Structure 1
Amino acid sequence: MQMPKPSEADKEHFRSVMPTDPGVVVKPMFGNLGAFVNGNMFAGLFGSTIGVRLSEADRAELEAAERTVPFGPEERPMGGYTGLPEVWNAEGEGDEAREKAWVAKAYAYVAGLPPKEPKAPKVSRPRTKK
């Protein structure tokens, strides 16, 4: 599976549409970026595509009204995430406002979910000689 790499402009654009809330954490993921709140990802960047995690009602509204795309690898898109229309990334300021609005909806939805519990560290067992 080939992982697309975002350009520096793609990464800058992704960061520019994220909410300014101090709880938002943007970090690298597999050569791309993810945006998290309370340990849960609400938006991601896969190549030049921004994907968002929305409530069922919001996802249905977005997918019915816009030409969304699957988010993630073509052969295995991420469940629960919708890729925002790629033309929004290229068309201009009005589209950036639409991106920000949908990212804000994703943030609000995921911020309302229970915080993700950190994984317990693996305990290594001592090896025994036979």
Structure 2
Amino acid sequence: MQIPKPTEQDKEVFRSLISESPAVQIKPMFGNLGAFVNGNMFAGLFGSALGVRLVDETTRSELEAIEGTGPFGPDERPMGGYTALPSSWHSTPELASSWIQTALSEVAALPAKQPKTRGKK
């Protein structure tokens, strides 16, 4: 599977939309970027697509009702619980920011992800 890469502009706009909080981290993931809170990803880039994780089914359905949204991640295996924003997210930063904040709020309420322990070699 070929993993698409975001442009530098995609990365710059993504970073500008993510809340500056000590609890939030932006990390590289397979050439893309992910935004995490308490170890759980709440938003990310997959190529030029921006996706958010919405835990609440009603909220996710509300986002999915917007024209241009769709599955997030590889076509062969989209990421469950994540929805890609319309491809116009660059030109509608207020819409993107609103959904990112919603995802951050929902995912921050989840239990913190425990780091994986490595087995002995």
Unaligned runs of 5+ in 1: 125-130
Instruction: Determine whether 1:61 maps to 2:62.
Output: yes
**Structure 1 equivalent of residue 110 of structure 2:** 113
Structure with higher Rg: it is 1
> TM-score when scaled to structure 1?
0.88
Letter in 1 for 2:3: M
**Structure 2 equivalent of residue 35 of structure 1:** 35
Question: 1: distance between equivalents of 2:39 and 2:16?
Answer: 20
RMSD (Å) for aligned C-alpha atoms = 0.9
Among the aligned pairs, what percent are the same residue? 60
Deviation at 1:15, TM superposition (A): 0.5
Alignment of 1:1-130 (within 5 A): 1-54=1-54, 55-89=56-90, 91=91, 95-124=92-121
**Dislocated runs of 4+, deviation >2 Å:** none
> TM-score when scaled to structure 2?
0.95
Deviation at 1:88, TM superposition (A): 2.3
Question: 1: distance between equivalents of 2:17 and 2:70?
Answer: 18
Unaligned runs of 5+ in 2: none
How many correspondences in the alignment? 120
